[in-house]
Amino acid sequence: MNKIQGGCHCGHVSWEFELPVKTVVKCHCNNCRKLQGSDYSSWIVVPKSQFKVNSGREEISTYHFSEVSQKYFCANCGSTVYGINGKHFPTDFMVPLGEVDNYSEDLAPKIQVYSKDKAAWVHIHDDEPVVS
């Protein structure tokens, strides 16, 4: 199995990508907190050429939260379906780890970033190196 599939909550938008991915990031930054509504967020970093939207393309809306970064979301249910982090990963899509339908060990978080912004109760896991 080298294809990972997933999509938004209502099911209109579905996507797939091929393994291996570049990395899987657990992010503690303030942008992710606000955008995803959670105390931290986990993102699969997938080279653009390995990712495709299979359905619901017409349902996808875009929110630009910086000059180089966008989030794409389902206009029907509001789920983020992917994002672009133009600062750190300009050639990749950031895919929300929580939207995967067929999980694989390959998708376990590999690194943690923006740990200086983390919520006080969130513990850094020793097996996921802090890179910023």
Residue ranges binding Zn ion (CB under 5 A)? 8, 10, 12, 27, 29, 32, 74, 76-77
Measured torsion, CA atoms of residues 106, 113, 41, 128, in degrees rounded to the nearest 10: 40
In the complex, least distance from residue 48 CB atom to Zn ion, rounded to whole angstroms: 19
Helix (H) or strand (E) holding 36: helix 30-36
DSSP codes joined into one string, 71-118: EEEETTT--EEEEEETTT-TTEEEEEGGGBSS--GGGS--EEE-GGG-
Q: How far is the CB of 62 from Zn ion (least distance, A)?
A: 15
SS3 131: coil
- Which C-beta is closer to Zn ion: that of 2 or that of 121? 121
- Whichever of 50 and 76 has its CB closer to Zn ion, that residue is 76
Least separation in angstroms between residue 41's CB and Zn ion is 6
49 versus 65: smaller Cβ distance to Zn ion? 65
Cβ of residue 2: shortest distance to Zn ion, in angstroms?
26
Q: Which is nearer to Zn ion, 2 or 11 (CB)?
A: 11
Provide φ and ψ at 110, rounded to 5°: -105, -35
Cross-strand pairs, 51: 17
